Amino acid sequence: MKLFASIGQYTLLMQKVFSRPERRSIYYSRIMSEMEALGLNSIGLTAIISVFIGAVVTLQMAITLESPFIPQYMIGYATREVMILEFSSTVVALILAGKVGSNIASEIGTMRITEQIDALEIMGINSASYLILPKIIATVFFFPFLAIFSMLVGIAGGYGIASATGIMNPVDYIDGLMYCFYPDEISYALVKMAFFAFIVTSISSYCGYYAKGTSLAVGKASTQAVVSSSIAIMICNLILTQILRT
């Protein structure tokens, strides 16, 4: 019951967010600064996580697929598939839900409890659109780049570990990367990522926007944001995979 009420409230908020903006020029500069705050500032985290996962996946594959019947290039192939199909979109989105989602929810939540949102409303500004729309546009646009970046870095991490440990021949790794490559897989991952960006940003904004009470509420909102957007990502992942891949 509560879930349905929340979904209804969320839908109404999104309607408010996507109603006609007051003034485009102001939105433009806000989108730019959100891209920096939410996108550019996540590059470091994405890089670190991707390079390690790429390396670990390669290691795991090398150990698991150690058999004379399986050609070594399969390791490179498997690493590529894991990175492109799931890791750099779904897992990176989950991690960004933790970083960006809690950031958005606490920022908007604080604005709510210190009456900054009321102040915007009194000025006749559509606070939902003014605060949330730039964040949504910025992340939907920027997160797919983070996904591409994550793919590259992860695959490079695999290559790095292959040449550093000699667990496999780096040339085979490269061969594997080229093996059976369909560029569609990348577009599939990017489409997914754009959806996830929307989910994380809109749900986190929703949690912050309706925070009630004192600073305790802000903490609660940001936890709620991470939990809800993670769950929504998993559900959406399943649905999108079903629709886009079959």
Partner 1 sequence: MIKAENIIKSFEGRTILNNISTEFGTGQTNLIIGRSGSGKTVLLKSLVGLHEVDSGAIYYDDICFSTLDFRTRKAIRKDVGMIFQGGALLDASTVVENVKLPLDLFTEQSEEEKLERVHYCLKRVNLEHAHHLYPSELSGGMVKRAAIARAIVMNPRYLFCDEPNSGLDPQTSIVIDNLIYDITKEYNITTIINTHDMNSVMEIGEKIVFIHEGNKWWEGTKDDIFHTENRELDDFVFASAMAKRAKIAR
Give contact residues for partner 1 (rule: CB under 8 A). Answer: 22-23, 26, 110-111, 114-116, 118-126
Q: Residues 157, 53: contact at Cβ < 8 Å?
A: yes
Per the listing, tokens 């192939």 go with 77
Nearer to partner 1, 122 or 239 (CB): 122
List Cα–Cα distances, 25 to 31, 32, 40, 180, in angstroms. 10, 11, 22, 46
DSSP letter at 68 equals T
Nearer to partner 1, 37 or 227 (CB): 37
Nearer to partner 1, 72 or 110 (CB): 110
Give min distance, CB of 115 to partner 1, in A.
4
Give min distance, CB of 22 to partner 1, in A.
5
Give min distance, CB of 186 to partner 1, in A.
36
DSSP letter at 124 equals T
Give min distance, CB of 124 to partner 1, in A.
3
For CA atoms 106, 112, 115, 118, the dihedral sign is positive
Burial of 239 per CB tally in 10 Å (0-12, 13-18, 19+): exposed
Nearer to partner 1, 54 or 208 (CB): 208
Give min distance, CB of 121 to partner 1, in A.
7
Nearer to partner 1, 125 or 167 (CB): 125
